[in-house]
Structure 1
Amino acid sequence: MIISWKLGRAMALLTGFSLLVACSQLPRNPVPVELMPAAEIPGMPNIRAGAGHISPIFEADLLQSYKDESKEMFRAADGTLVYPHLALSGGGPNGAFGAGFLNGWTKTGKRPVFKVVSGVSTGALIAPFAFLGSDHDQALHDFYTTTTTRDIFHLDNLLFRLFFRESLADTSPLSKLIDGHITPELMSEIAKAHQHGRRLYMGTVDLDSQRFMVWNMGLIAAKGTPEALMLFRKVMLASSSVPVAFSPVFFDVVAQGKHYDEMHVDGGVAARTAQKLFVPEQG
């Protein structure tokens, strides 16, 4: 399995972001280039993979998922196995259309249980609820219909932020919104689904390496620790953090026994939809 990526169409945004970061003079301890492939979240190995190279760990995990699943969950009326996948894209506030679509799909009585759900950008905000099924339709509906701009970000002195901050907007409201919805109870549900052979993925972009990163969110949830809960929330925030407009999200990582930081932003700058996260290796 190889994870494909492309950042060309986002280079203007990333260049602008780099200039913005340079102005704000963020204190950084980035991973040295030669150690980037080895960087991991402390205490949580194998929960993510970078684009552009084969990931044996993700391959093995996906194969394990077929052993863990209940075959009846994905067996069609004619006896064949059918594995529904849902790829949730970006779109900012237009994510409300995706939420509405899922609610409408439930009402038809034909919405399946998804084997794999993956999301980038605003799709990452929808993904946990879509993954858990129609019991969470109301929470998803409320997230997109009762949320205002003020609940997502604050805009204060733009000129001041341009020169002294790492973004044009303060996204602490979005962080609080995610914290309120991604609870320990929700994490337990995601962990249970993961253990039963289903998979939830999200994507972010590591600005230092300019690589698209895929996160195995169900595996994170299965850790069941406060650190895992915090990481899950941070990945969601990072995947929906538009470069320049929103602050990057920093992750503490370890490489060869030393601690560094990575700076991640909206996964949508690299992949318009999460369908492009996993593709067959090209010969």
Structure 2
Amino acid sequence: MQGTAALSAPFAFLGSPRDPQLKSVYTDITLANVLVQRGFTAAVWNDGMADNSPLFRTISRYTNKALLTEIERAYDDGRLLLIGTSNLDAQIPVIWNIGAIARSGHPKVLDTVRRILLTSSTLSGAFSPVLFDATLDGQPFQELHVDGSAFAQVFLPVNVSLYRQSGWRDGSR
């Protein structure tokens, strides 16, 4: 999922028991829950025209351990919640398997999922890219991500079963 759909994706994915949260995401959120506008000079001096920290707080209100536990159970039952972002450094689309991430048991699972939702829910250029800490072969590094439409206009995971077979099952990517 990409764009605003990513913000509602966990609730739609989990079905009708989460309809009140899904409805709330689209009817109760105001502009103040999403952004703080910056001045016109932000186009020159900042990495986004608005500060999306209010959106992160809003996502954090809705995305909690209980929600991740439900997503994890659905993943264990064979269902996939995939959310797309774009890695600015590598200039490639990235598909995040939220169930595998929830299942990973990593201490930063909740923050990571919130950051993925933030990244995929905000418009490139309008908001700052989101920084992710990562480790590859024991070496830490950072990646900047923006919404998935920066490098892929359509979200089409070609063969989802490959993700499960290629290490995504254990939460790695």
Do these two structures clear the TM 0.5 threshold for a shared fold by scoring above it? yes
The answer to whether the aligner puts 1:230 opposite 2:111 as a matched pair is yes
Specify the alignment match of 2:12 in structure 1: 130
Identity %: 38
Bigger relative CO (Cα 8 Å, ≥ 6 apart)? 1
Once the two structures are TM-superposed, the CA of residue 225 in structure 1 deviates from its matched residue by 4.4
Q: Which ranges in structure 2 are unaligned for 5 or more consecutive residues?
A: 161-173
Q: 8 Å contact 2:4–2:122 — kept in the other structure?
A: no
* Match runs of 1:39-58 below 5 Å: none
The answer to whether the aligner puts 1:219 opposite 2:108 as a matched pair is no
**SS of structure 1 residue aligned to 2:94:** strand
Once the two structures are TM-superposed, the CA of residue 279 in structure 1 deviates from its matched residue by 5.0
Once the two structures are TM-superposed, the CA of residue 143 in structure 1 deviates from its matched residue by 1.0
**SS of structure 2 residue aligned to 1:179:** helix
**SS of structure 1 residue aligned to 2:36:** coil
Q: Which ranges in structure 1 are unaligned for 5 or more consecutive residues?
A: 1-118
State the structure with more CA Rg: 1
Q: Which amino acid aligns with 2:151?
A: A
Specify the alignment match of 2:157 in structure 1: 277
Once the two structures are TM-superposed, the CA of residue 242 in structure 1 deviates from its matched residue by 1.3
Q: Which amino acid aligns with 1:177?
A: T
Once the two structures are TM-superposed, the CA of residue 278 in structure 1 deviates from its matched residue by 1.7
Specify the alignment match of 1:209 in structure 2: 90
Q: 8 Å contact 2:63–2:114 — kept in the other structure?
A: yes
Specify the alignment match of 1:11 in structure 2: none
Specify the alignment match of 1:183 in structure 2: 64
Q: Hey, what's the Cα distance between the residues in 1 that align with 2:122 and 2:3? A: 7
Deviations 1:94-140 (A, max 9, x none): xxxxxxxxxxxxxxxxxxxxxxxxx1111111211111001111111
Specify the alignment match of 1:150 in structure 2: 32
Once the two structures are TM-superposed, the CA of residue 144 in structure 1 deviates from its matched residue by 0.7
Q: 8 Å contact 1:188–1:224 — kept in the other structure?
A: no
Q: Hey, what's the Cα distance between the residues in 1 that align with 2:147 and 2:81? A: 17
Q: Hey, what's the Cα distance between the residues in 1 that align with 2:88 and 2:19? A: 34
Q: TM-score, normalised by structure 2?
A: 0.86
Q: 8 Å contact 2:72–2:103 — kept in the other structure?
A: yes
As a proportion of its length, which structure holds more strand? 2
